[in-house]
Chains A and B, each alone.
Chain A
Amino acid sequence: DAKTTQPPSMDCAEGRAANLPCNHSTISGNEYVYWYRQIHSQGPQYIIHGLKNNETNEMASLIITEDRKSSTLILPHATLRDTAVYYCIVRVALTGKLIFGQGTTLQVKP
Chain B
Amino acid sequence: EPEVTQTPSHQVTQMGQEVILRCVPISNHLYFYWYRQILGQKVEFLVSFYNNEISEKSEIFDDQFSVERPDGSNFTLKIRSTKLEDSAMYFCASSAGVASGANVLTFGAGSRLTVL
Footprint of B on A, CB under 8 Å?
30-32, 34, 38, 41-46, 49, 51, 87, 91, 93-103
Residues of B within 8 A of A49 (CB): 101-102, 104
Tell me if B33 and A51 are in contact (CB < 8 A): no
> Which residues of B lie under 8 Å from residue A87 when comparing CB positions?
43
Residue B75 CB within 8 A of the other chain? no
B48 to chain A, nearest CB (A): 5
Task: Give the number of residues in B that approach A within 8 Å (Cβ atoms).
Answer: 31
Q: Is there contact, CB below 8 Å, between B105 and A98?
A: yes
Q: Assess whether A100 is in contact with B44, with CB atoms less than 8 Å apart.
A: yes
Kindly report which residue of chain B lies nearest to residue A32, judged by CB atoms. B101
A98 CA / B98 CA spacing, docked (Å): 11
Whether B31 pairs with A96 at a CB distance below 8 angstroms is: yes
Contact B99–A46 (Cβ < 8 Å)? no
State the majority secondary structure of interface residues on A. loop
Indicate if the CB atoms of B33 and A91 lie closer than 8 Å.
no
Are B95 and A43 in touch, CB under 8 angstroms? no
Q: Does B18 contact A (CB under 8 A)?
A: no
The answer to whether B43 and A95 touch across the interface, beta carbons within 8 angstroms, is no
In angstroms, Cα B98 to Cα A30, docked, is 12
Closest CB-CB distance, B106 to chain A, in whole Å? Answer: 7
Partner of B56, one of A42, A43, A95, A101: A95
B89 surroundings in chain A (CB, below 8 A): 41
Provide the bound-state CA to CA distance between A44 and B31, in Å: 17
Asked if B42 and A100 make an inter-chain contact with CB atoms under 8 angstroms apart, the answer reads yes
Q: Are B110 and A42 in contact (CB under 8 A)?
A: yes
For window 75-109 of chain B, which residues contact chain A by CB distance below 8 Å? 89, 91, 93, 95, 97-99, 101-109
Q: Which residues of A contact B103 (CB under 8 A)?
A: 96
CA distance A48 to B97 in the complex (A): 17
- Please, which residues of chain A bring their CB within 8 A of the CB of B110? 41-43
How long is the Cα–Cα vector from A98 to B95 in the complex, in angstroms?
A: 11
Q: Give bound CA distance, A10 to B56, whole Å.
A: 34
- Cβ-based interface call for B13 (8 A): no
Q: How far is the CB of B20 from chain A (nearest CB, A)?
A: 19
